Structure 1
Amino acid sequence: MPAEPGVPSVTPGLTTDGESAAVDDGASLSLVSGDAAYRLQRRIGLIPAKGLGIGRRLVILPLVAWLPMAIWAALNHRALAGAVQEPLLSHYGIHVRCLVAIPLLLVAEALAQGVMPKLIPYFVTSGLVPADCRDRFRQILSNILVLRDRWLPWIVILGVAFALSTIDSFRQDIHEVAWAASDAPAGLRLGFGGWWYLLVVRPLYVCLILTWVWRLVLLAILFWRVSGLPLSLVPTHPDRAGGLAFVERFAVVFSPVLLAHSAVLSASWAHSVIYHGVEITALRAEMVAAAILLVVVFALPYLSFVRALGHAKREAELEYGVLAGRHGRLVREKWILGKQVGEPPVLDAPELGPVADMVGLYGAVAGMRGLPLGKRGLAMIVLPVVVPMLLVAAIQVPVKDLLMKVLGTLV
């Protein structure tokens, strides 16, 4: 039965809980709301009946992670310099995990909830998905919902997080919890604060990071499947990406995630520089490798459209080349050679215009990008990764010299 005018068509999906999920052209699709982590947090009251409860979680989760550890360290004279050589205060990575990274990962959820419902429907409203492919597009969205709501990825995430913590708990040389350790006849023993960090703080942070990796995988699957549709790309589109440049706006969702992880890494490096005398030059390779890895991983979903854009550009160069050649020959024959060419429609077509406009059309096709990720999208991925690392480098390198080196590499 056809949909009524003004009412969006929907395709029923089925979640792993057996609940039906109505999928329209993407306005109801969310990377966050409805997944297993969301449902669990709603059951325990962290997420209210309406909304994501970002405000309450921004207060509760960081304090639950950081406060018990900080109170124990203060009561046992391990928070400030004195009783131990490197107190809790000196381990910047711990504080950044709790008070900076975790809130940033929650802010990313709010961004995802606001961005996704606006951008996904644009595949349809922009005309990129032809009318005869909309049912296939809705089925793709429905399948993404099913993947999002499965429990298996979350079991894997929890398993990895606690496995890492369990492995660390058997080590005797965990530098990050040296402030909570005491020498004993049986060897190094951790106090409550150290165990809290290993069994609560680190698993919580790793779970949140892996959650966003899973959401990045979901976005990559979505892009890959959509790119397999016969998209109606426009080679002369002013965005230079056939009309697909809007997908770079998805990068804003992952900017806080990149900033969070880069900040944690940089905080650990800062501790090494300040308390262990490590030279920035000794960390250069590690920083560059980490930056490249983060940028590449979070740019991977956009590679899904490379094949479609490349094919569209190659075809358009031939098609518009034929049109430009025909137009140019007729102009030459009529105005240079003085021949009678009649009144061919191609010379009077207002959408083609004079020769200069025709050249502009072909130039637009030739300048079409092979990746729907421009300077703005790259900036949203690269800057959150690089800025915390530059701050660490600024500990030893003067800011002016540092900026000049960065500008030199860019120019």
Structure 2
Amino acid sequence: MPLAQPEERPAAPLQNARAHADAIAAGTFGFFDYGPPLTLNAWLRPIGPGQLRLLRRVATVIAIGWLPLLLLATLEGNAWHADGGGFLNDHAVQARSLVAATLLVLGEATCAPWLTAIASQFVTAGFIGGGDRPAFTRAVAATREALRSRRAVIAILLIAYASTIAIFAAVGLPRTWLSTFSGTPSLAGWWHLQVSAPLLLALLLGWVWRAWLWGRFLMRVAQIELKLAPTHPDRVAGLGFVGHSLRAFAVPAFAMGTIVAGAIANAVQRGGSPFAHGGLIAASLTAILLLFTAPLLAFSRRLLGTWHRGVLRYGATAAELGRKFERAWIGKHGEEHPPPDPSTTADLNAVVANVYAMRVVPVDVLSLVALAAAALSPLLPVLLLTIPLDQLLADIKGLLF
């Protein structure tokens, strides 16, 4: 089933719920493609393959969010200041309007297919029976409809503009390329307040909206009678694949980390130390991890119930086999006919150990570390700013010669 173009109305639910679920299972129903702010897609009226559409959206974000700032700052003579304070000297705005905004758009290319594949796994791996497929279909349809919601787009844009106005009213503008000598916004400053900053906030809120919808989708799936196996070696009853969604959010996490790194880079440029901003780094990392990990809590109640039932059933079986093993091999020999095989007992104990070691959140350590690394890696160039250039060149020369 072909994907609907972003400017089209959401596709009506298929009449045959089983065919709808099969399309998802086959990976041809990209229900998580696109998302707010949809107005950007409507402006572009994209025609052609998905990669071309993505590149056009990236070009549009740069053309309206960053390029006018460069042109206006140049016109006003604020493109570069030898002592800092120029547009090109401002690491924070480069990180926000050029790098982060671009990555927040590019993140769709990796996130949407990954989440679609994870969703299809519920059907292909047999977690959802034929009788429960209509409920799964409704969850998918509701998610696609919400992603294309006009009301959500309007709300995101209103929140973005209101937040920009509130921040400006609270802290004002720094005396850089953003303002004139009298303290009023420069032409570039006005564009930043009215276009660039709201655009970035809209892109960020779009990802918050996606994360919330992903959590709502998982919550609806968790309400279906899933066929979970408490003995599964992933120790989350077979739902370990859902935790891989953290890796799907690596690009937006990197973009968010870039915004923080840009602000810290400005402070380092003025003579500060990046280590003085440990609180900001810790808070931003915590917020990013919570944003993309919280949706996985949708399965906690179901996993807790599966663990409880598994402990009761498999624990009783292991205890009975253990008593038979002791009577046959340690107590009175020959009492059991035939005595339990030691290898069978060991295998059962290993299976039961998986049950007792079950986690109530399908998050694996490697995925969590990958997400944290993506959010923190933009700070590495900031640390290089603390090393004098002559010392850095000398160290490189020492490594090469």
The residue aligned with 1:272 is 267
- Give the Å deviation of 1:200: 1.4
Q: Which secondary structure does the structure 1 equivalent of 2:231 belong to? A: coil
Q: Distance in 1 between matches of 2:301 and 2:333?
A: 45
Deviations 1:239-263 (A, max 9, x none): 1211101012212222111111111
Quickly say closer, same or farther: Cα 1:311–1:86, change in 2 above 3 A.
Answer: same
Separation in structure 1 between the aligned mates of residue 383 and residue 90 of structure 2, nearest angstrom: 17
Q: Separation in 2 of the partners of 1:358 and 1:249?
A: 29
Taking the aligned partners of 1:141 and 1:212, their CA distance within structure 2 comes to 18
Counterpart CA distance in 1 for 2:379 and 2:336 is 66
Structure 1 runs of 4+ with >6 Å offset: none
Partner of 1:194: 189
TM-aligned CA deviation for residue 358 of structure 1 = 1.6
Does residue 103 (structure 1) correspond to residue 113 (structure 2)? The answer is no
Pair 62,280 (structure 1): closer, same or farther in 2 beyond 3 Å: same
- Provide Cα deviations, 1:27-74, integer angstroms capped at 9, x if missing partner: 4142234x5644x44443353255261122223321332222112222
- Per-residue CA shift, 1:85-108, capped at 9, x if unaligned? 511122111111222112211121
Alpha-carbon deviation of 1:129? 2.0
1:388, CA displacement in angstroms? 2.4
**Count of residues in correspondence between the two structures:** 372
1:143 & 1:270 partners in 2: Cα distance?
Answer: 42
Quick one: which of 368, 383, 398 aligns to 1:378? 368
Describe the superposition over 1:211-258 as per-residue Cα deviations: whole angstroms up to 9, x where unpaired. 010000000001112112222211121212111010122122221111
Q: 1:85 to 1:388 in 2, by over 3 A?
A: closer
Q: RMSD value over aligned CA atoms? A: 2.8
- TM-score, normalised via structure 1 length: 0.81
AA at the equivalent of 1:32 = D
Note closer, same or farther for the CA distance 1:59–1:125 as it changes in structure 2 (3 Å cut).
same
Cα distance between partner residues in 1 of 2:183 and 2:167: 13
Residue of 282, 289, 306 corresponding to 1:312 = 306
Identical positions, percent: 25
Residues 121 and 304 (structure 1), Cα distance of their counterparts in 2 relative to 1, 3 Å cut: same
Counterpart Cα distance in 2 of 1:253 and 1:61: 22
Q: Does the CA contact (< 8 Å) of 2:36 and 2:203 recur in 1?
A: no
| Cα distance in 2 for residues equivalent to 1:148 and 1:263 | 25
Query: Quick one: distance in 1 between partners of 2:168 and 2:149?
Result: 30
Alignment of 1:244-323 (within 5 A): 244-275=239-270, 277-323=271-317
Q: Who is 1:137 aligned against?
A: 136
Gaps of 5+ in 1: 1-7, 9-15, 399-411
Identify if the C-alpha distance between structure 1 residues 325 and 172 changes in structure 2 by more than 3 Å, giving closer, same or farther.
Answer: closer
Match of 2:378 in 1: 388
Unaligned regions of 5+ residues in structure 2, if any?
2-7, 15-19, 389-401
After superposition, the Cα gap between the structure-2 partners of 1:180 and 1:142, relative to the gap in structure 1 and judged at 3 Å, is closer
Which string of whole-angstrom CA distances, capped at 9 and with x for unpartnered residues, describes residues 314-359 of structure 1? 2211211111122222333344423454469xx58xxx95221122
Cα deviations by residue, 1:10-40 (Å, 9 ceiling, x for unpaired):
xxxxxx957513342534142234x5644x4
> Equivalent residue for 1:59?
59
Q: Note if 1:211 corresponds to 2:210.
A: no
d(CA) in 1 for partners of 2:118, 2:92: 35
Seen in structure 2, the aligned counterparts of structure 1 residues 366 and 244 have a Cα distance that, compared at 3 Å, is: same
How do residues 87-98 of structure 1 correspond to structure 2 at under 5 angstroms? 87-98=86-97
1: distance between equivalents of 2:301 and 2:183?
56
Matched-pair contact (CA < 8 Å) for 2:10–2:148: no
Residue type matched to 1:278 in 2? Answer: G
- Whole-angstrom CA distance in 2 between matches of 1:332 and 1:85: 79
1:80–1:36 Cα change, 3 Å: closer
How far does residue 174 in structure 1 lie from its aligned partner after superposition?
Answer: 0.7
CA distance in 2 between partners of 1:95 and 1:395 (Å): 16
Q: What is the aligned partner in structure 2 of residue 31 from structure 1?
A: 32
SS in 1 for 2:177: helix
Q: What are the residue-to-residue correspondences of 1:207-246 with 2, within 5 Å?
A: 207-246=202-241
Between stretches 279-288 and 118-127, larger displacement belongs to 279-288
> Secondary structure of 2:13's partner?
strand
CA drift of 1:374 comes to 0.5
Aligned to 1:13: none
The 2-side partners of 1:172 and 1:245 are apart by 45
8 Å CA contact retained: 2:177, 2:186:
no
How far apart in 1 are the matches of 2:47 and 2:250? 26
The 8 Å contact of residues 236 and 364 in structure 1, kept in 2 or not, is answered as yes
Pair 1:218–1:231, CA change in 2 (3 A): same
Matches within 5 A, 1:53-202: 53-82=53-82, 86-167=85-166, 173-175=172-174, 178-183=176-181, 187-202=182-197
Q: 1:380 to 1:47 in 2, by over 3 A?
A: farther
Given the alignment, which residue of 356, 361, 374 partners 1:366?
Answer: 356
- 2:154 & 2:336 partners in 1: Cα distance? 73
Letter in structure 1 aligned against 2:75: L
* Distance of aligned partners of 1:158 and 1:392 in 2 relative to their CA distance in 1, 3 Å threshold: same
- Taking the TM superposition and a 5 Å limit, the aligned residue runs for 1:323-334 are 323-334=317-328
Q: Deviations over 1:298-329 (max 9, x none)?
A: 21011111221122112211211111122222
- CA separation of 1:71 and 1:375: change in aligned 2, threshold 3 A: same
**Secondary structure of 2:373's aligned partner:** helix
Provide the TM-score with structure 2 as the length reference: 0.83
